[in-house]
A and B are shown apart, each in its own frame.
Chain A
Amino acid sequence: MTNQDNNEEQAENSGSSRRGFLKQSAALGAFAMTPPSAMKAVDTGLHEKIATAFEQMPLQVEINGTLQRLKIEPRVTLLDLLREQLNLTGTKKGCDLGQCGACTVHVDGQRVNACLTLAMTTEGCKVTTIEGLAPAGPDGPLHPMQEAFIKHDGFQCGYCTPGQIMSAVACIREGHADNPDEIREYMSGNICRCGAYSNIVDAIMDVKKGGQKV
């Protein structure tokens, strides 16, 4: 099953999964992606590996500038995809329920919680994680916000930091960093248990005032 197969079905339904579904009607039009042999295998008690293959779906997503052609179970979240399958562990898991912001990444330029984002819904999107923030890569010069976090000591244990930085960059890009109170409100989706908020606000103000491109 290739992505091309999938694209041909884009008109009405562009993807589907699961053994159960394989057994079901062809009415939704996604049927062509399912070879009859697989259908049979489902009915007759599938070998685990084949089952796995059919529980997985193709996904194409650009992550930090690299186009990823993947096959994943639809229940995989963007967060777990990054951390457990792509070894992009800069994006953190803090609550897994959209309640802490540690997993903040940019999808098509918007900051979102990767833990509540099914990876399948990022098909065709551009995802930026902390690893992809600095334009020259992880060993090159830092992004101004990363510099400012170091300068203002906007972190302690460092675990919420990638999420804070991704959020901070978005905060400025969105135009919500005009004063400390506005920054506080628009950074409230990122919990820092070490309590570095006051320094984080200073870091964001500094970048905003500096006028560098973020």
Chain B
Amino acid sequence: MNQFQYVRVTTPKAAVAAVTKENNSLFLAGGTNLIDLMKRNVMSPEKLVDINKLPLNTIEKTATGLRIGALAKNTAVAEHELVRKSFPLLSMALNAGASPQLRNMATVGGNMMQRTRCGYFYDTAMPCNKREPGSGCGAIGGYNRMHAIFGTESSDRSSKCIAVHPSDMCIALVALDATVLVSGSKGERRIPFIDFHRLPGDAPEKDNTLQKGELIMAVDLPNNPFADHSHYLKVRDRASYAFALVSVGAALNLKGNTIQEARLAMGGVSHKPWRLTEVEQFLRGKPATEATFRQAADVAMKGAKGYGENDFKLTMAPNTLIDALKTAAKNA
């Protein structure tokens, strides 16, 4: 790890100022991915601005829902009574991620800022457009078992990237219509969660739409009617402590057996948490039956594309979606 400048700040304003001013400076929160990346020489910031002392870890009810401070630890969110009761999908997704130790360290903001776990991104001896734009995508034609099946179209082949976003938490947040509150040198702004992460397009080095120096302050969740019918289903190579091959966050509002409203997102399939808006529309007003869910899966898989080793996801993803919907429909 390179020697870096370490600054501890106690106000968001100072944090934003410290990062905005310098080219290669980053916020340090839980560090569970950043320190890892620095150890592997994938990222070498010259300055780390430690934001852990900022007062941004509260979880509180708001007029329209719930506000979760960016520095709330993953464990604290997952176990918070309000989250468990009113946003169980988020609790389930968080508990499906990483390990208890990592969840004790990782923050909500940091979880959103996680970078891909693609092996080519981490091995500086191999090509990776995300790590080194223009160097090529090692995963295309290589080991792409973990990789994306959605949203990989790119205008320029040399900038191609089929990496996936690794977060579980973000699948729940994108499904539940969260908004991200960020603060920058020009003040605060709100970003719909669905627009926070981006597809690789022609700039796979950019994971999200944050501007230089912008600090995630909080995530807002609107109240929802899905608490009784939520399910997060994660398929992985190990029973625990493994990234998703495919995961599905499903939330339903049922009236009798009729779907009033649905919220759906998939993980392990795209460069960003993959919200299934079209499927949600399809499900509205339909009976919560396996037949409906199978049709929904067909809608969900439109445009999916395998890269060889990840072709199995073309089967696993719809299967997992159907299974998650079935379980969500049963929950109460």
- So, do A and B actually touch in the complex, CB under 8 Å? yes
Residues of A within 8 A of B (CB): 10-18, 20-21, 25, 27-30, 55, 57, 73-75, 77, 96-98, 101, 104, 110-113, 116-118, 120-121, 123, 167, 170-171, 174, 176, 184-186, 188-191
Do B98 and A28 touch across chains, with their CB atoms under 8 A apart? no
Q: Which of A13, A111, A170 has the most CB of B within 10 A?
A: A13
**B46 neighbours in A (Cβ, 8 Å):** 20
Do A120 and B101 touch across chains, with their CB atoms under 8 A apart? no
Per-residue contact bits, chain B 8-40, to A (CB 8 Å; 1 contact, 0 not): 111100100110010000001011100110111
**27 contacts across the A-B interface (CB closer than 8 A):** A12-B10, A13-B7, A13-B18, A14-B53, A16-B6, A17-B6, A20-B5, A21-B5, A25-B21, A28-B14, A73-B3, A74-B4, A74-B48, A98-B36, A101-B101, A111-B100, A116-B102, A116-B105, A117-B31, A118-B31, A118-B50, A120-B6, A170-B100, A188-B238, A188-B239, A189-B101, A191-B241
**B100 neighbours in A (Cβ, 8 Å):** 111, 167, 170-171, 174, 176, 186, 189
Give A144 to B144 CA distance when docked, in angstroms.
46
Tell me, rounded to whole Å, the shortest Cβ–Cβ distance linking B92 to chain A.
Answer: 12
Per-residue contact bits, chain B 272-306, to A (CB 8 Å; 1 contact, 0 not): 00000000000000000000000000000000000
Give A18 to B6 CA distance when docked, in angstroms.
8
Tell me, rounded to whole Å, the shortest Cβ–Cβ distance linking A26 to chain B.
Answer: 12
Minimum CB distance partner of A174 in chain B: B100
Other contacts beyond A116-B32, A118-B35, A189-B102: 4, CB < 8 A: A16-B5, A18-B3, A74-B48, A120-B6
Tell me, rounded to whole Å, the shortest Cβ–Cβ distance linking A65 to chain B.
Answer: 21
**A118 neighbours in B (Cβ, 8 Å):** 6, 28, 31, 35, 48, 50
Provide the main secondary structure of the chain A interface. Answer: loop
Whether B47 sits at the interface, judged by CB under 8 Å, is: yes
**B31 neighbours in A (Cβ, 8 Å):** 116-118, 121
Give A120 to B46 CA distance when docked, in angstroms.
16
**A120 neighbours in B (Cβ, 8 Å):** 6, 8, 50
Tell me, rounded to whole Å, the shortest Cβ–Cβ distance linking B39 to chain A.
Answer: 6
Which B69-113 residues sit within 8 Å CB-CB of chain A? 73, 75, 98-102, 104-105
Do B8 and A75 touch across chains, with their CB atoms under 8 A apart? no
Give A77 to B36 CA distance when docked, in angstroms.
11
**A74 neighbours in B (Cβ, 8 Å):** 3-6, 48
**A27 neighbours in B (Cβ, 8 Å):** 17, 21
Among A13, A113, A170, contact of B8 (Cβ-Cβ < 8 Å) = A13
State the 3 A-B residue pairs at the shortest beta-carbon distance, nearest first: A189-B99, A74-B6, A188-B240
Minimum CB distance partner of B30 in chain A: A116
Give A103 to B98 CA distance when docked, in angstroms.
15
Minimum CB distance partner of A110 in chain B: B104
Do B4 and A75 touch across chains, with their CB atoms under 8 A apart? yes
**B30 neighbours in A (Cβ, 8 Å):** 116
Do B102 and A97 touch across chains, with their CB atoms under 8 A apart? no
Tell me, rounded to whole Å, the shortest Cβ–Cβ distance linking B156 to chain A.
Answer: 32
Do B14 and A13 touch across chains, with their CB atoms under 8 A apart? yes
Do A18 and B32 touch across chains, with their CB atoms under 8 A apart? no
Minimum CB distance partner of A166 in chain B: B101
Whether B1 sits at the interface, judged by CB under 8 Å, is: yes
Among B18, B48, B101, contact of A28 (Cβ-Cβ < 8 Å) = B18
Minimum CB distance partner of B102 in chain A: A98
Minimum CB distance partner of A175 in chain B: B79
